[in-house]
Each structure stands twice: as structure tokens, then as C-alpha cells.
């Protein structure tokens, strides 16, 4: 697989007062990863990374889409959104519910999942310049994640315009040999669809299998 693009959608949230159904999900773990599995991975990553800098900054821009740590947005929200990974053609590959904003551990989990299923050349994100050094630091303490560093980082083309010129040249998709016409923004189209679907009655629950 040439490229995988990953990003979060915080418009696809679920309120705590929305109790849902007592019946178990039919397709648990098929597309959206099991919450317990994700939480275990997040704890593992946090246990191997000690840092006091919780800001994602590139030049004069500050990005809230990528953080090492993040607090819950409020007591009224149960699930703050979803994180999804898609191929360069926009097909949904894997997703997860996120409970603490778009922390780095979430795309790392999806990257790990994709590495099990395909030989991915490029991993595209809108904060690649901040995420990739973080990934390398984590891989030093968790050797099982070293294969993830063999992928090539790709800063999505449109978001690169908000970064510094040096960052755009170094990490941007247009500068990556072999990336072709990969834009790295394909997940934005998917999230646009999912955001509209979230507004349809009965689809606010991010557990897509339960909604189905």
C-alpha cells in the first residue's frame, strides 16, 4: 500500500447521557478498535514517554490536533470523537474512539494496526513534523514499534501551508520521492462525510456497529 492518511474527527462525539443499548455490538473490533485495547496501548505509550512539553508548534502556528497528553473536554462528553485511517483512495481502513482529544498515541495505534496488514510506504498526517520525532523516541523504549519508523513520514499537502517553509520542504508530500500525487488529505473527505452523518438522528453514537 503506497500511503495511509490518518486524522481525528471531533464532531463525531457522544454525550455521556446517551446511554445507548445494553446489547453487545455486532461488529465489535471489525472497524473501530476495542476501547480497552486502545486504552492499554495508550497507557503503554505514556509509560514510556516523559515530557513536560505538551505543545505542538511549528513556526508561529500552534496545532491542537497533536499532543502528547490531553485532558477530557468536559464531563458531558463520553466519547470526544473518532480517529480514522484511510488509503489514498479514501477507503476506510481502521478507526478508534478517542476520549482525550487527538493525542499522538491514537494515530500510533492505527499505524501499528496497518503495519500488521500491509506494507505501507508513507504515513500521512497534518502534524507529521511533530509526530515523527515523537514516534522515534517511543520506539527507542518499545522495540516492537521500530517497524513503524520504517514507513516514510508525509506531511499532508494542504496543511503543510500552515507550517514553516523549511518544514513544508522537508516533510511535505510534494517533496517526497515516490509519493506521486498523494495529497495526504484524503481523510479530510472521509471526515467531512462522517461529520454530516453524525448529524443524522440515531447516528451520533460513534460506535458505528451499534448504530448499524
Query: Each residue of 197-210: pLDDT tens digit?
Result: 554 444 434 444 33
- Report the pLDDT value the prediction gives residue 143, as an integer from 0 to 100: 92
Are 84 and 92 contacting, i.e. CB atoms less than 8 angstroms apart?
yes
Residues forming beta bridges with residue 179, ordered by sequence position: none
Give 126's pLDDT tier (boundaries 50, 70, 90): confident
Determine which of 4-13, 30-39, 137-146, 148-157 has the lowest per-residue pLDDT on average. 4-13
Instruction: Specify the number of domains making up the chain.
Output: 1
- Whether 150 has a pLDDT exceeding 90, the answer reads yes
Q: Which alpha helices (DSSP H) does 10-127 contain, by range?
A: 35-47, 105-117
Vertex 132, ends 126 and 138: CA angle to 5°? 135
Query: Each residue of 186-200: pLDDT tens digit?
Result: 877 777 777 655 544
Full domain range(s) for residue 187: 3-211
The angle that helices 105-117 and 128-141 make with each other, rounded to 10 degrees, is: 70
pTM of the model: 0.75
Query: Each residue of 63-96: pLDDT tens digit?
Result: 544 445 444 444 554 556 788 899 888 888 998 8
Amino acid at each position: 500500500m503506497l500511503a495511509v492518511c490518518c486524522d481525528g474527527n471531533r464532531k463525531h462525539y457522544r454525550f455521556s447521557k446517551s446511554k445507548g443499548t445494553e446489547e453487545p455490538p455486532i461488529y465489535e473490533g471489525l472497524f473501530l478498535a476495542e476501547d480497552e485495547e486502545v486504552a492499554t496501548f495508550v497507557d503503554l505509550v505514556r509509560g514510556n514517554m516523559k515530557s513536560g512539553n505538551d505543545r505542538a508548534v511549528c513556526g508561529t502556528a500552534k496545532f491542537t490536533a497533536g499532543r502528547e497528553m490531553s485532558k477530557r473536554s468536559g464531563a458531558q462528553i463520553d466519547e470526544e470523537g473518532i480517529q480514522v485511517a484511510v488509503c489514498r483512495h479514501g477507503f476506510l481502513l481502521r478507526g478508534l474512539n478517542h476520549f482525550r482529544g487527538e493525542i499522538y498515541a491514537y494515530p500510533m495505534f492505527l499505524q501499528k494496526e496497518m503495519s500488521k496488514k500491509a506494507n505501507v510506504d508513507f504515513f500521512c498526517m497534518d502534524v507529521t513534523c511533530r509526530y515523527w520525532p515523537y514516534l522515534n523516541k517511543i520506539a527507542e523504549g518499545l522495540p516492537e514499534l521500530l517497524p513503524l519508523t520504517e514507513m516514510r513520514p508525509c506531511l499532508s499537502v494542504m496543511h503543510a501551508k500552515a507550517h514553516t517553509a523549511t518544514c513544508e520542504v522537508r516533510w511535505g508530500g510534494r517533496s517526497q520521492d515516490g509519493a506521486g500525487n498523494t495529497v495526504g488529505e484524503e481523510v479530510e473527505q472521509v471526515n467531512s462525510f462522517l461529520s454530516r452523518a453524525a448529524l443524522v438522528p440515531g447516528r451520533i453514537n460513534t460506535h458505528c456497529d451499534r448504530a448499524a
